[in-house]
Each structure stands twice: as structure tokens, then as C-alpha cells.
Amino acid sequence: MSHLFSPFTLREIVFRNRIAVSPMCEYSSQDGFANDWHLVHLGSRAVGGAGLVLTEAAAVSPEGRISIHDLGIWKDEHIAMLQRITTFIAAQGAIPGIQLAHAGRKASTVRPWEGSRALPAAEGGWQVVAPSAIPFNDVYPLPETLTETGIRKVLDDFRAGALRALQAGFQVVELHGAHGYLLHNFLSPLSNHRTDEYGGTFENRIRLLVQVVEAVRTVWPEQYPLLVRISATDWAEGGWNLAESVQLATILKDKGVDLIDCSSGGLAAHQQIKVGPLYQTPFAEKIRQEAGIATGAVGMITTAEEAEGIIAEGRADIVLMARELLRSPYFPLHAAHKLDADITWPVQYDRAKMRKVL
């Protein structure tokens, strides 16, 4: 029996398998609204057999967008189209999830295929915020230091975003605390030079993320899972590291977080990442073992055998796939055949199902 295609339960939600669609920015929204692109993109991965389908980063405020084309959840008008998408995903047997995010000092930039630079004010750019007035690099915006009033607004925005996510029909929320965005900015000593209660010591640097978790849990139902994506290391000297990630995960578990999505990097322009197949899986394995919390492995997982091995060996509880699911939306259906797992195909596609030859 395949481990990858065994059910997985978090709180009262049962995932049909251990394959999750990792959040992938599409940069295809106007004013934060989801549209037909998002319906087809996310819906096809649900048809393709994934157990959990996560949206791209959904900004909890307009100033929290990476670009003016980001998905958003900062106003009630966003709910209707998102609800249409979650209804379709659930009808295919997958669990709909959403990643809530604030881009911090990496906000107000152009889309990747338009270059890597700040969005000029004349084109709709805005003032970005961060724990300290330190830009990501010399072509990104110079952030303003987030004030205490601004911090309270961030907490309110995440709480309101989670409530809208619930109204839109999502059953999983993931908080984006990775890749150099706002919550990660606070975690890392490289981007957080504050001297108040939100900077300096480990306890102070994790304070905002912990408070966001607490705020979201006030509106997110007890029966629904809460995930947090972190960069387990900055891949840079003096930055956030794996030992701190283990310590953070232990604390978040006690605050009502159910799974740590273990990515890495994205905070320091001078990072030195040792990229290769499954290169981030050891982070998920160590956090799972030492913090006693469920984890997700992500990063260059491209084959059925790799994904199966991660779950079978107890290195993580789920695998989150991105680029491979861009290349092949129906990867889970093909993987099940390779692993000799008899799964249910959509009835509309059943005549094409790959069956074991006796």
C-alpha cells in the first residue's frame, strides 16, 4: 500500500492523500480579485488528484501585495469568486486552502517576467513597511519602519483575512512566514534591527508571528487546521537558522498551529543555497522529529518515488509540490499508477484511467 496515497488527518479535516499543491504566485489578479485563471489553475489540480489545494499568497491588505497583480483577501468583495473556486475544489474531493500573506519590504514590485525592481509610484507603487528600514537589495523599495499602530493593523488584517477565508469556504489556512516577506522579516536578525519588544532577542523577533497565529485562531474554527510556512534557514551567516526554526515550531504547536510547511531562503540577497533534489526535506524531517509537530516537505520533489520515500521514511507528513504540478497538473493520477495505488479518478476521465495489467 502506498504511503503517499494514505489519508492524512489534521484536526477534523481528512485529506485523501499526502500531496498538496504548494502556493504559487500567478500575478494574474486585478485589485486582488480571483478570476477564471485561478478557477482553472486551482481547479485542474483538484481534478488531478491532489489532497490539498492551496492558493497563492493572498494579500491581507493592499500594501501587503508583492505586485499590483497579486491575489487579495482584504475586502468582502473578494469572497464571491473565491467561494466559487472552493466549491469546485471541494466537489473534486480535494481540500481547499488559502495562504494569507503580507509582503513586507518585498512589496510594491513588478511581476517577475517584467524584471526585478520596485514598482514606480507613477505606475501604482506604494510605500512599503518592514521591521526596520532596510531594503531587500538596491533595486527594491526602501521600507519604512513599522510602527506600533502599523503592527496592530497587521494583526487586524490577518484576523479579518482569516474570517473572509472562512466565509469563502476554505478549510485550511496557511500563514506565510517565509521567503523574505513581512513575518519572516521580523524573524531574521538580518532584516530586524529593532530595539523594542519586536526586536533583538529570539522571543522578541518571533512575537509578531506568534501574535498573528493567536489573532487568526480567534476566528478560525477549532476543527480546521492552521499551517505556517517558514524559511527554516536564511542560508546566510548571522541569519535565521534551523535551530531557531525547531524552537519556533515547538512554540507554534502550543499556540494552535498544526503543521509547519518547511521551505527556506528568500530573505537575504546574498544567500548561498545548496540546491538539489529534496534539498529542503531535511528541514521538515528535523522539525518533525525535534518539535513533535507535523511537517510538509517542499523543494525539487519531482517524482512519485521521491514523494513516496519522504512519507514512507517518516521525513514529513505531506509533500507540497509546485513546479512539478505546473508541468503536470495530473501528477497525482500518474503517481498513483506508478506506485500501484488504486485511487478514484474523476468519473469524466475514468475511461482514461491507467489500470494495473494482471
Whether residue 55 is contained in a domain is answered as: yes
Could you tell me which residues are beta bridge partners of residue 268? none
273 vs 38: CA distance, rounded Å:
31
In this predicted structure, what is the pLDDT of residue 116?
87
Residue 122 reports pLDDT greater than 70: yes
Average pLDDT over residues 111-127: 95
Average pLDDT over residues 146-166: 98
Residue 133 burial (CB count, 10 A)? 13
Residue 146 burial (CB count, 10 A)? 24
Whether residue 358 is contained in a domain is answered as: no
Whether residue 357 is contained in a domain is answered as: no
Which domain does 52 fall in, by range?
Answer: 8-352
Residue 356 reports pLDDT greater than 80: no
In this predicted structure, what is the pLDDT of residue 357?
59
Residue 245 reports pLDDT greater than 70: yes
Confidence band, pLDDT 50/70/90 cuts, at residue 120: very high
Give the whole-number percent of the chain exceeding pLDDT 70.
99
Angle between helices 242-254 and 207-217 (to 10 degrees): 30
Whether residue 322 is contained in a domain is answered as: yes
Residue 240 reports pLDDT greater than 80: yes
Q: Which position has the higher pLDDT, 274 or 236?
A: 236
Instruction: State the catalytic residue, choosing from 27, 140, 181, 330.
Output: 181
Residue-wise pLDDT for 13-40, tens only, equals: 999 999 999 999 999 999 999 999 999 9
Summary mean pLDDT of the chain = 97
pTM given for the model: 0.98
In this predicted structure, what is the pLDDT of residue 110?
97
Whether residue 299 is contained in a domain is answered as: yes
Average pLDDT over residues 253-264: 98
Residue pair 176/183 in contact by the 8 Å Cβ criterion: yes
Q: Is 224 a catalytic residue?
A: no
Whether residue 161 is contained in a domain is answered as: yes
* Number of domains the chain contains: 1
CATH code of 90's domain: 3.20.20.70
Whether residue 220 is contained in a domain is answered as: yes
Render the burial of 200-215: b for 16+ CB within 10 Å, e for the rest: eeeebbbbbbbbbbeb
Residue 172 reports pLDDT greater than 70: yes
For residue 180, what are the CA distances in angstroms to 9, 82, 147, 262, 263? Answer: 30, 26, 19, 14, 11
Phi, psi of 63 (to 5 degrees): -75, -10
- Amino acid letter for position 118: A
Whether residue 3 is contained in a domain is answered as: no
Characterize the bridge pairing of strands 13-15 and 8-10: antiparallel
236 vs 184: CA distance, rounded Å:
14
Question: Considering only CA atoms, which of 2, 90, 4 is closest in space to residue 319?
Answer: 4
Per-position DSSP letters for 125-170, written without gaps between them? ----EESSS--SSTTSPPPEEPPHHHHHHHHHHHHHHHHHHHHTT-
Could you tell me which residues are beta bridge partners of residue 10? 13
